[in-house]
Amino acid sequence: MSTPQDYIDEHKDHFLEELFDLLRIPSISTDSTKKEDIKSAAGFLADQLKKMELDTVKVFETPGNPIVFAEHAPHEDQPTVLVYGHYDVQPPDPEELWDTPPFEPTIKDGLIYARGASDDKGQAFTHVKAVESLLKTKGELPVNVKFILEGEEEIGSPNLVPFIEEHKDMLACDMVLISDTAMFAEDQPSITYGLRGLAYMEMEVVGPNRDLHSGVYGGAVENPANVLCEIIAKLKDEDGVIQIPGFYDKVVPLTEADREAFAALPFDEEEYKETLDIKAVHGEKGYSTLERAAGRPTLDVNGLWGGYQGEGAKTVLPSKANAKVSMRLVPDQDPKEIAKLFKDYVLSIAPDTVTVKVTEHHGGYAAVTDLEFYGLKAGAKAFEEVYEKEVLFSREGGSIPIVADFKRVLGVESILMGFGLTSNAIHSPNENFSVKDFYRGIKTSARFFELLPDFAE
């Protein structure tokens, strides 16, 4: 009888074909016209899980996109792992910057190019294939496994938390396993033990009731696009310090240990600048690039629009101007509270010549996992066996708000076992995922399930 690792090697091509089928579905959750594709992606994963004859596979409808749940619990005395992933993806735009079509997966130089290749279809799928490989070769799983695969991660998981709260017993587990992060470097297995939180806002500055001729009205009527810029300019000072009153009140300062951990990570700033083609790094004064990117809160304009964007010169004084602005948070900032502080500050600095509307998109708490947790140690061991290299434990700048929610509702830690790379261009044109890491991911996941009973003792 072959081992799970052999089985994975023998089914490489087939696994890749299956992933490609999933990647071809444009399950874009920010686009309300893609509801059918969302349904297809959920159905595809449910079918995959059903083929394995698990105890339960069910697609739950929600007020938004469906949640796929599966359970296989053969053991009373072994830990239960809840695998979380998401099958929705970011929009592909600007689509003209893709070298190959975003929903026609293409392999080039060992990389799978497609929207969702890394974030998160490719990574989530590794665990599905790991469970299949264990069942096909061992006849049974070494631990209990549950799956929860959602379709609204890219829009802030509005229906996931209510779902978890409502199905606490069904989802009861000893840990959550998530692959939705990047490794620190190529061939460098890494476990993310910290994530930033998020507060994502949108604002609209409204002036006159129609676009005006800038010659006839310019100088006499306030220009909403100028005002929008003035408001945004007042959100940060030149040292990268956020100017919203109270913003830093609950920030847990980086400890000496934190800063030493950041400093110990391998990082080449020259290479970083070269890869991004920037002349200099920039951020909050007094902190290193890694600290700025993962250990400190920040504020970014994510989108900006108003007036004429076409070719040539249209002399218009726009009726309104808009921006999307998000803030990354650290422990113990409260996203709801930060959203309110943002709104209060923006309204307080807005001139009374215009009307400013501030709305809140999704948000989430920052999360840091205990480094002594046995699940984390089992994960590190599995990683080291497959990648043949010591694991790095790092904090990341991105947000997976659900990690804080799992902790709060189910009372468990999450293991962030990322198989991606920062060069995967997630949320960007030409998103990709290494074919090699797709296979190593499946193998690492399978080994993790096999090793976990030993660490649990």
Of 323-342, which residues contact a second copy (CB under 8 A)? Answer: 323-324, 326, 328
The answer to whether 144 contacts a second copy (rule: CB under 8 A) is: no
The answer to whether 1 contacts a second copy (rule: CB under 8 A) is: no
- Looking from the CA of 271 toward its CB, the CA atoms found within 13 Å total 5
The answer to whether 303 contacts a second copy (rule: CB under 8 A) is: yes
The answer to whether 18 contacts a second copy (rule: CB under 8 A) is: no
Number of Cβ within a 10 Å radius of residue 164: 23
| Ramachandran assignment for 248, one of left (phi > 0), alpha (psi -120 to 50 degrees), beta (any other) | alpha
The residues in 31-70 that bind a second copy, with binding defined as CB under 8 A, are 31-32
Helix (H), strand (E) at residue 71: strand 67-72
* Number of residues this chain uses to bind a second copy (CB under 8 A): 105
Distance CA 401, CA 413 (A): 13
Phi and psi of 183, rounded to 5°? Answer: -75, 160
Distance CA 197, CA 365 (A): 4
Distance CA 220, CA 20 (A): 57
Which residue from 446, 376, 387 is spatially nearest to 186, judged by alpha carbons? 387
Which residue from 153, 161, 84, 92 is spatially nearest to 124, judged by alpha carbons? 84
Among 79, 105, 297, 335, binds a second copy (CB under 8 A): 297
Give the nearer residue to a second copy in terms of CB position, either 225 or 382. 225
Structural contact between residues 329 and 320, judged by C-beta atoms closer than 8 angstroms: no
The answer to whether 371 contacts a second copy (rule: CB under 8 A) is: no
The answer to whether 308 contacts a second copy (rule: CB under 8 A) is: yes
The answer to whether 200 contacts a second copy (rule: CB under 8 A) is: yes
The least CB distance from residue 370 to a second copy, in Å, is: 22
The answer to whether 228 contacts a second copy (rule: CB under 8 A) is: yes
The answer to whether 253 contacts a second copy (rule: CB under 8 A) is: no
The least CB distance from residue 168 to a second copy, in Å, is: 28
The answer to whether 218 contacts a second copy (rule: CB under 8 A) is: yes
The residues in 406-435 that bind a second copy, with binding defined as CB under 8 A, are 422, 425-430
Question: Side chain identity at 221, as an amino acid letter?
Answer: V
SS3 category, 57: strand
Distance CA 117, CA 44 (A): 16
The least CB distance from residue 202 to a second copy, in Å, is: 8
Question: Side chain identity at 409, as an amino acid letter?
Answer: V
Give the nearer residue to a second copy in terms of CB position, either 57 or 228. 228
The least CB distance from residue 159 to a second copy, in Å, is: 15
The answer to whether 351 contacts a second copy (rule: CB under 8 A) is: yes
Among 2, 21, 30, 165, binds a second copy (CB under 8 A): 30
